[in-house]
């Protein structure tokens, strides 16, 4: 099962080079749940870490610092690791701190802070110190490292066959081997970068910043992190906004099916738009255009297309396509990439789009961050382990995915996900029942969101104790900062003034 990563392309490109901007993250297609009995308060510390002070230093237009957190929250007085933080100071009378998370898992909160001032409302920026952080295992914090680019490529990029029992066993063994590589290069952080541990880090950061309550804006996977926090620390919840909601209580196959349906719908909307453009390279019949794209991706498995710095296989072809479906402003890039593939049998632009998805340098092939491996590190720790997959399970899942998405279903079912991942966390969350004791939470859903379907926002809202759903009627992934002023006003009204939008509000 393939992951999806939330990206947004900027509106500018120079020749074949594409300039891009990360907006938010996605969710793995595995059950992101955890066993009951998780304590609702943090383990007791001797006060040492909660009494630390962050030494803020200037970094460009922001301030940067380091928070020390327990490597293992089951042993809070033991070894520590670093969580890197930055902040954009309030432009007016400060009412507190607002923690932000871009999603992923694996997305850099430090990067999000760097451009958050250009996407947020003025009222919010006046009232809050906006605080970003790279979660444990991610980016500049104590990182997960799985080896060189060739090792990561072999695990993430290669089109591995999955047609025989031997193929399935080999896929499961690759999970074991890759986790072993990550453990060898990273140490114990790979066993302790789960969502519960990251949520506990957020409470420590809240306390060190001097905030009585946690105020938080999380995108995509960041909604899972925020909801987990609300389950663990309901009494500490301030004003929480969860944008692009993930219903991480759903079974794994239902999560995957939801995303498959979402991306198929987004592709159909793109095709309809493309047909209105003079330069659309696709067949004028919508169903034929879908098949045209499907055949291009399947064909690249056996016959990869030449790209600027290497061959573009079926896997990379799909990465390049789906990354443009996160925002309708990116659709012209997909048109240009498809034109090149169809007219010239080359995939320079499609390869660059895939490289952006994976945070790979399009010239050197080196990974520019660890977001790709951190996605698996967090997602597979969070995933509830199940019995080993066999070919019958794969075939059943493939049929389910192809029914949900005739174009991309093969891709969603081209791996065994986290099955046989050998590392396990100390804690998981299996219920959101404790959130009934939390302050009201604002959930945002986008009606045509491909990565976190609108139905997830509806169901997560129902599971949270006191939550209101705000709807953005439009395309793309998440809403705040990329949709319209109605969303800005509603979110800022809640975060700054404490005014919850009316139930049923649609922007």
Q: Say what the pLDDT of residue 252 is.
A: 84
Residue 404 DSSP class: H
Mean pLDDT, each 10-residue run in order, the chain (507 residues): 36 25 29 33 61 95 97 95 98 97 97 96 97 98 97 97 97 97 97 98 97 98 98 98 97 93 98 97 97 98 93 97 97 98 97 96 94 97 92 97 97 95 94 97 98 98 97 97 96 98 97
Kindly name the residue from 201, 382, 449, 492 that is annotated as catalytic: 449
User: In 3D, which of 29, 31, 24, 33 has the Cα closest to residue 3?
Assistant: 29
Q: Is 449 tagged catalytic?
A: yes
With contact defined as beta carbons under 8 Å apart, do 293 and 350 qualify? Answer: no
Peptide bond into 105 cis (omega under 30): yes
| Nearest CA-CA partner of 491 in 228, 218, 233, 205 | 218
Rounded Cα–Cα distance for residues 113 and 343 (Å): 40
- Check residue 275 and give its pLDDT: 98
60 is catalytic: no
DSSP assignment of 352-375 equals: HHHHHHHTB-TTT--BSSSHHHHH
Structure-token pair, residue 324: 């443009």
Q: What is the DSSP string of 448-496?
A: E-SSS-HHHHHHHHHHSTTEEEEEEEEESS--TTTS-HHHHHHHHHHHH
**Which pTM was predicted?**
0.92
Q: What is the dihedral of CA 265, 155, 171, 419, to 10 degrees?
A: -70
Give residue for tokens 């491909």: 450
**Residue 23 confidence (pLDDT):** 25
Options 420, 477, 483, 492, the catalytic residue: 477
End-to-end CA distance of the chain: 33
Number of neighbouring beta carbons within 10 Å of residue 74: 13
Q: Tell the residue number behind the tokens 């012209």, with chain if given.
A: 332
Domain boundaries, the chain: 57-143+194-250+431-497
Give the span between the Cα atoms of 271 and 331, in whole angstroms: 9
Contact assessment for residue 45 and residue 77, using Cβ atoms and an 8 Å cutoff: yes
Which listed residue (108, 197, 220, 414) is catalytic? Answer: 220
The DSSP code sequence of 98-155 is: EEEE--TTT--HHHHHHHHTTTS-HHHHHHEEEEEE--TBSTTSSB-----HHHHHHH
- Please say if 344 is a catalytic residue: no
- CATH classification code of 57-143+194-250+431-497: 3.40.50.1820
């Amino acid at each position: 099962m393939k992951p999806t990563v939330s990206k947004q392309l900027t509106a500018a490109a120079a020749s074949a080079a594409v300039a891009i901007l990360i907006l938010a993250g996605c969710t793995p297609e595995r059950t992101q749940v955890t066993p009951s009995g998780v304590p609702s308060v943090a383990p007791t510390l001797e006060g040492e870490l909660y009494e630390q002070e962050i030494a803020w230093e200037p970094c460009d237009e922001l301030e940067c610092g380091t928070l020390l957190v327990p490597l293992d929250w089951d042993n809070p007085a033991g070894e520590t690791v670093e969580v890197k933080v930055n902040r954009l100071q309030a432009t007016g009378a400060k009412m507190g701190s607002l923690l932000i998370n871009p999603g992923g898992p694996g997305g850099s909160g430090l990067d999000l802070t760097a451009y958050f001032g250009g996407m947020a409302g003025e009222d919010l920026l006046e009232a809050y110190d906006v605080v970003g952080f790279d979660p444990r295992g991610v980016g500049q914090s104590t990182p997960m490292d799985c080896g060189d680019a060739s090792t990561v490529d072999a695990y993430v990029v290669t089109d591995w066959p999955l047609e025989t029992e031997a193929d399935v066993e080999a896929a499961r063994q690759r999970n074991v081997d890759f986790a072993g590589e990550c453990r060898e290069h990273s140490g114990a952080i790979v066993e302790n970068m789960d969502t519960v541990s990251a949520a506990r880090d957020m409470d420590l950061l809240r306390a060190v910043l001097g905030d009585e309550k946690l105020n938080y804006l999380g995108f995509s996977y960041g909604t899972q992190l925020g909801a987990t926090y609300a389950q663990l620390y309901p009494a500490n919840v301030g004003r929480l906004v969860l944008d692009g909601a993930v219903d991480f209580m759903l079974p794994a196959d239902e999560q995957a099916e939801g995303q498959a349906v979402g991306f198929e719908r987004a592709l159909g909307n793109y095709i309809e738009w493309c047909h209105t453009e003079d330069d659309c390279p696709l067949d004028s019949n919508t169903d034929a255009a879908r098949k045209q794209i499907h055949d291009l991706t399947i064909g690249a498995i056996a016959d990869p297309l030449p790209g600027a710095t290497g061959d573009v296989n079926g896997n990379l072809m799909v990465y390049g396509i789906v990354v443009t479906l996160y925002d309708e402003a990116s659709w012209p890039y997909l048109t240009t990439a498809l034109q090149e593939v169809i007219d010239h049998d080359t995939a320079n632009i499609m390869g660059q789009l895939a490289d952006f998805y994976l945070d790979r340098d399009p010239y050197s092939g080196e990974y520019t961050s660890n977001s790709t491996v951190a996605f698996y590190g967090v997602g597979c720790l969070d995933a509830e382990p199940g019995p080993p997959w066999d070919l019958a399970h794969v075939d059943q899942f493939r049929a389910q995915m192809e029914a949900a998405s005739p174009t991309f279903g093969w891709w969603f079912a081209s791996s065994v996900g986290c099955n046989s991942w050998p590392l396990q966390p100390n804690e998981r969350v299996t219920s959101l029942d404790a959130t009934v004791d939390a302050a009201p939470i604002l959930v945002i859903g986008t009606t045509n969101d491909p990565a976190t379907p609108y139905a997830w926002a509806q169901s997560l809202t129902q599971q949270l104790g006191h939550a209101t759903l705000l709807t953005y009627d439009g395309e793309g992934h998440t809403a705040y900062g990329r949709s319209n002023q109605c969303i800005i006003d509603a979110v800022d009204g809640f975060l700054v003034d404490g005014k919850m939008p009316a139930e049923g509000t649609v922007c």
